[in-house]
Amino acid sequence: MTFIFKKAAVALGCAGALAFAAAASAQENLTAETSSPGNSPHVVTVHLADVLAREGIANMQVQEGQTATNSIVSIAEGKSDMVTAPLVLHFLLEQGRGPFSKIGADGKALADNIRAIFPYNAGAYGLFAPVSSGIQSYKDIEGRTIWNGPPRGAALTVGRQTLLLGSGGMQDGEDYTGLQTNWGQIATALVDGSAEAFMVPITFPSDRVTTALAAGDINIISFPKDIWESEAMQKYLSAPGNSPVEIDGSLMGYGEGSGVNLISEDGVFRSPGVPFATYVNASMPDALVKEIVTAYIGSLDELKTRAPYAGTVNFGVLDQKITGFCGGLSLKYHPGAVAAWEEAGYDVPDCAE
């Protein structure tokens, strides 16, 4: 069935400017790497830079538009003070697999140097397409050109995997043609007709969807319910670096008449989530990490107002299943972060301490 969104508010934007300079009273000078503007990793990093400067904790120079596969190695090697990246990259680095296959067995030692300080997600891997394309299900991607990620990295791996699972086995290059561009070029790809559909992380609402609306009405396609509820899919969702996202269509942030339609059997959007964390090196002093995380926790209400989607990406949530921690993922929270969360009254999963 086609579900028409009823909630108003499609305006997107990231509140605040980059905090490259801060109060003279700040005690530390830190560097941070994050993604391009328009998603939760970028929003939380800019927010944290503002808060740390305002409270005199640190001056944080933010380098945006970074590739997460490079950032996770950077934090492991101590070349940056703080980075954002999906959890799956910690697992792949530790195993020396995927984008870290050239690192091989050395990845284990690098992964051991990494600690999380707080989790969130970057939305979910969502399949969406112009209504004019006629694509209304995962199976409709057969023979089509689908944008499924940047030229390399975790996003492309997960994008291909999500299309494979949702379609019942369709492969990039065999059953459909995958189109890849750098993240900085995606805004152009969304409207220039080079792809017939997109498999890309989306928030609720998503600036990527609203950008695509410039070329016509959009269908957002939920994961097939029978596949979603299968034993194999549930096993996949509990694998390292994965998490489930289920959200009622009325809460996705698009107004009536916006031109955005949810295609779902029951009006619920389902898709694999993109669990993220902000990381520091294990050697960062406990006291400094505690101070940083305490400031973050104290500013959560402010953070959730910085972008329309900020209230739906689980800032301030530590639940094991929702965040994608534990299971086969060895990643732990920094001791200073654990102290800050527990002091603020939160339960940190024992398996992540």
CATH for 28-121+276-352? 3.40.190.10
CATH topology identical between 2-8+123-273 and 28-121+276-352: yes
Instruction: Report pLDDT for 26.
Output: 55
For residues 30 and 113, the answer to whether their CB atoms sit within 8 Å is: no
CA distances from 18 to 25, 56, 216, 289 (A): 18, 16, 32, 21
The pLDDT profile of the chain, 353 residues, written as one tens digit per residue, is: 443 433 333 333 333 443 434 333 458 999 999 998 878 999 999 999 999 999 999 999 999 989 899 999 999 999 999 999 999 999 999 999 988 999 999 999 999 999 999 999 988 999 999 999 999 999 999 999 999 998 887 788 889 999 999 999 999 999 999 999 988 899 999 999 999 999 998 999 998 999 999 999 999 999 999 999 999 998 888 888 888 899 999 989 888 889 999 999 999 999 999 899 999 999 999 999 999 999 999 999 999 999 989 988 999 999 998 899 998 899 999 999 999 999 999 999 999 99
Parse the chain into domains and list their residue ranges: 2-8+123-273, 28-121+276-352
Q: Please check whether the domain covering 2-8+123-273 is classified as CATH 1.10.580.10.
A: no
- Give the span between the Cα atoms of 248 and 108, in whole angstroms: 39
* Pairing label, strands 114-130, 218-221: antiparallel
The Cα 349–Cα 353 span in angstroms is 7
